[in-house]
Amino acid sequence: MNNLNVRLHQLRAMVAVVDNGSIRAAARALHLSQAALTKSLRSLEEETGLALLLRKASGVVLTEAGNRLLIRARLITRQLDLAHDEIRQALGEQPGMVCVGLTPYLTLNALGEAFKWFRKRYPNVTIQVMEGLVSRVLPGLRSGALDFAIVAQSNDVPAGEFTTQQLAQHQQTLVVRLGHPVLKNPSAALLVNYEWVLPGPLTHQQPQAGDYLRPMFEHAGVPPPAVMSRCDAMATIALVRSSDVVSVFPLPLLEQPESHGIVAISAPQLQPDNVNLVQLSLPDVPLTPAAEYLARCLRDACGKIT
């Protein structure tokens, strides 16, 4: 088999087409003509001997082989961009980008203060934040789209796949809206009769909503609620504030304006486990100076949360 001679511009063309949805939009984003971009894509397919993209009326669709190559293409192009950032930052130049994944309640509790500290040192570096739980940020970490993530520790993270740094631990609590009927007698037996809405991933591959709380119900000697749903974090906050659902929040979240009208429940029989925060990054891939400093700012901000 002949050695492949895949070039960087071919991989960038492929990533750009996927990210922009069409050859025309990708060419515009890369400041190329459509003919030049199409030539790069065609030469990539000729070099690999594989059909990578299908041109359809609705846009460009990747083949199975294309999807596999895309993962590597993203990682390669992102790491080269990071190498450029590293050199420029080492020379005292500011431009670059840091991409981070954050568990939702840290976006509300820690990001603002960390951002102020970061901007004093790096006023011109672009920051991109993906808000989400573990299952949402893992693909970005694996592809190199995210430099690092700070999330709640979870069994979803395969042992040894990422460099893991243990951070702070925060208490969780059951919450309902102010004026909720259950506040008159917040017993386990009454609480499980209400619908529960939990912040969590919206994928069919994930366990049933609330599975991680099953030991808590067993310890209290009550069956789990008949209806337990998942929503994004902000949707969960909105539903708790405006209806009679029950949820589980990290305790520091109740101090934020977004949780106005939501109160903790004192129900000793039902005590959810604490949240253990961890920082995840790809092993053997050093962070740029800007990314490392943002991670430090976020760690310090997390440590100040009570």
Q: In this model, does residue 205 exceed pLDDT 50?
A: no
The arithmetic mean of pLDDT across residues 232-259, rounded, is 91
What is the spatial distance between Cα 137 and Cα 150, in angstroms, rounded to a whole number? 9
Q: Is 144 left (phi over 0), alpha (psi -120 to 50) or beta?
A: left
Question: What is residue 244's predicted lDDT score, i.e. its pLDDT?
Answer: 94
Question: What is residue 51's predicted lDDT score, i.e. its pLDDT?
Answer: 85
Which residues, at least 6 apart from 48, have a Cβ–Cβ distance to it below 8 Å? 4, 6, 65, 69
- The burial class, CB within 10 Å (0-12 / 13-18 / 19+), for 58 is exposed
**Average confidence score pLDDT of the chain:** 84
Question: What is residue 93's predicted lDDT score, i.e. its pLDDT?
Answer: 63
What structural domains does the chain harbor? Answer: 8-73 (1.10.10.10), 94-166+276-304 (3.40.190.10), 172-273 (3.40.190.290)
Query: What would the pLDDT profile of 105-156 be if each residue is shown by its tens digit?
Result: 888 888 999 999 999 988 888 899 988 777 788 888 887 888 999 988 877 7
Question: What is residue 174's predicted lDDT score, i.e. its pLDDT?
Answer: 93
- The burial class, CB within 10 Å (0-12 / 13-18 / 19+), for 236 is buried
What is the spatial distance between Cα 140 and Cα 148, in angstroms, rounded to a whole number? 9
Distance from CA of residue 64 to its chain's centroid? 25
What is the spatial distance between Cα 127 and Cα 97, in angstroms, rounded to a whole number? 6
Which residues, at least 6 apart from 81, have a Cβ–Cβ distance to it below 8 Å? 97
Please provide residue 167's backbone torsions phi and psi, each rounded to the nearest 5 degrees. -120, -135
Reported confidence tier of residue 204, pLDDT bands at 50, 70, 90: very low
Q: In this model, does residue 159 exceed pLDDT 60?
A: yes
